[in-house]
Structure 1
C-alpha cells in the first residue's frame, strides 16, 4: 500500500542549494522516495543531498533555459525510467507527512484522474501563515471553474506521466503559465481532482515567478483563457475579467486583497 517505487518527486532548481535540501528533508513517507532534481544551469551546480529514505538523481540542463524546459526534460527522463507518477514540488516549499502515499493511492483508485492536487497553506519566506488555498476537489467542479480561479497549486500536483506525454508534455508556448497550459490539455481527455486535505506549505516569495514574471504570466493565462473559453459559461468570462484586472492593478494590492478575502472566507 505504501510502495512508492513508481513515484518520483520532480523538482526544477536554479541555484538555492539550501532551499533544495530543506524542501526534500520535509518529505515523511513510509517507503523510499525517488527524487529527480532538474538543475537548470545553477552556478555552482546543485549537489544531491544525502537524506535517509531518499534516492536522489540530478538531471543537468546545459544552460539556464527556464522552468518550462526543465520540467519538460524532467518528465521525459522519468518516462524513460519507467516512473508512472511525477510529484511536483519547488525549492522552498514543504510537503506534509504522507503526501505521496495519499496521492498515489487516490490515483490508483481513480484511473481517469491524470492530475491530482492538494490543499495548500501559503506562508511567507519566514514561515508565517498568510492564507490557505482550498480549491474544489471534484472533477466536475474543477471543469466548471477552471478558467475562473486557480484550481490547482502547481507544486502540490501528482501527474500521471503517460497522460502528460500523450498530451504533449510541458512546453514553453505559454511562458510562466506552463502548469495551466498542461492542465487544460490534460483535461481534454482526463479528469483532474484535489485531495481535500493539506499537502503543501507554499512559500510566497517576492523573487518567485508569480512576482518577477507577473505580466508575462498574466498574459499567458489570458491567452489560454481565450483559447479555451466556453462562451456560455459565465465563470469563464469572470476569469478573463480577473486576468485583465491583474494587468492593470499593482501586484501587492491584488495580493493583499486576495489574502484578506481568503482569510475572511476561512474564518466564516
Structure 2
C-alpha cells in the first residue's frame, strides 16, 4: 500500500470464529527451521522510510530473511534498514513509474539472482510470524500451485482491527468465484517466479489491477490457492491505490472481466454487476458496506 505517517500496531486477532476451513493442507505445520535461501520478500515502495522499516521489522522467521525493496523513485531515496536475521537489497528505479513497473522489475531482478519464490508485502502492512516458512512448505508440497495467499486482518492506521479478509482456499472455488469476490490479498501472496515469468510477468496493461491481471493469467496454466490462516495485517490507507485510483482500478477490472467472461458461470455475471455498482457508489459507502458484511461473516454460526 502507499505509505502512511502513523505507525500501525499489530492487534491481537484470530481468524473468524465459526468459519474453520473444511480441510487444512497436511503441510500447514511448516518446518520452521527449513531454509528460506530461495525465498525473497518483494516490496515496491515510494517514499515512506518509516513504513518500510516497520513492515520489515515485523517478519519473524527461524531462518534468515532476504528482501528486495524496489524504490520507485523516492525522494529522498530509501535506505536499507539494518535488522537482525535479515538481508535487505534496494533496486532503484530511475523515476517513479508506478507499482506495475516496479513489480515487473523486481521479479526480473529476483529471477536473475536465482530466487525461486517472491513473497509480496507492501509498506505499512505487517507479517505474521513464520508466514514465509508456512507458504514455502506448502508450495514445495504442491508444485501445481503457482501463487499462494493467506488471510488478512484489515486494520486502521492506528492498528485498530476493522474486518478479516478470508478468501477461499480451494483452487476450483477460486476459479468459479474469481470475479464475484476478491480471492487473493496481494500483499499476502508468495509466487513461483518461473511461473510468473512464463505468463508474462506483471504488466502495466491493466493499471491499478496488475495483481488480478497476473492471477488470471497464472490460473490459465497453474493453480492458485490460499492457506486458510492469518498471514498479514493489511493496513487500510486512505492514500492507497484502492482509494486514490479507484475509478482506474474499477475500469481495469471491468476490462479483465469482459476479457475472461464466461456466460455459463453465474458468478461472472454477479461479479460484473458488482463491479458496475462499485463504479457508481462512493468510496466511503463501499467501506461501510464491506465492514458490515465482513463483521457479519465473522460471527459464529448457529450450532457451531
- Residue number in structure 1 paired with 2:177: 145
Report SS of the residue matched to 2:233: strand
- Residue number in structure 2 paired with 1:29: 61
Report SS of the residue matched to 1:57: strand
- Which aligned pairs between 1:166-245 and structure 2 lie closer than 5 A? 166-245=198-277
Report SS of the residue matched to 2:150: strand
- Residue number in structure 1 paired with 2:109: 77
Point out where structure 1 has 5 or more consecutive residues left out of the alignment: none
Report SS of the residue matched to 2:237: coil
Point out where structure 2 has 5 or more consecutive residues left out of the alignment: 1-30
TM-score, normalised to structure 1's length? 0.99
Offset of 1:64 from its aligned partner?
A: 0.1
1:42-99 Cα offsets, whole Å, 9 max, x none, are 0000000000000100000000000000000000000011000000000000000000
Report SS of the residue matched to 2:298: helix
Offset of 1:148 from its aligned partner?
A: 1.1
1:87 paired with 2:119, answer yes
1:105 paired with 2:137, answer yes
Higher helix share: 1
Distance 2:87 2:252 in 1: 35
- Residue number in structure 2 paired with 1:127: 159
Offset of 1:9 from its aligned partner?
A: 0.1
1:172-220 Cα offsets, whole Å, 9 max, x none, are 0000000000000000000010000000000000000000000000000
State the 4+ residue runs in structure 1 displaced beyond 3 angstroms.
none
Distance 1:105 1:165 in 2: 21
1:53 paired with 2:111, answer no
1:142-181 Cα offsets, whole Å, 9 max, x none, are 1111111100000000000000000000000000000000
Offset of 1:265 from its aligned partner?
A: 1.1
Offset of 1:261 from its aligned partner?
A: 0.8
Q: 1:17 aligns with which of 46, 49, 54?
A: 49
Aligned residues: 268
1:87-120 Cα offsets, whole Å, 9 max, x none, are 0000000000000000000000000000000001
1:65 paired with 2:109, answer no
RMSD between aligned alpha carbons? Answer: 0.5
Report SS of the residue matched to 1:260: helix
Offset of 1:31 from its aligned partner?
A: 0.4
TM-score, normalised to structure 2's length? 0.88
- Residue number in structure 1 paired with 2:282: 250
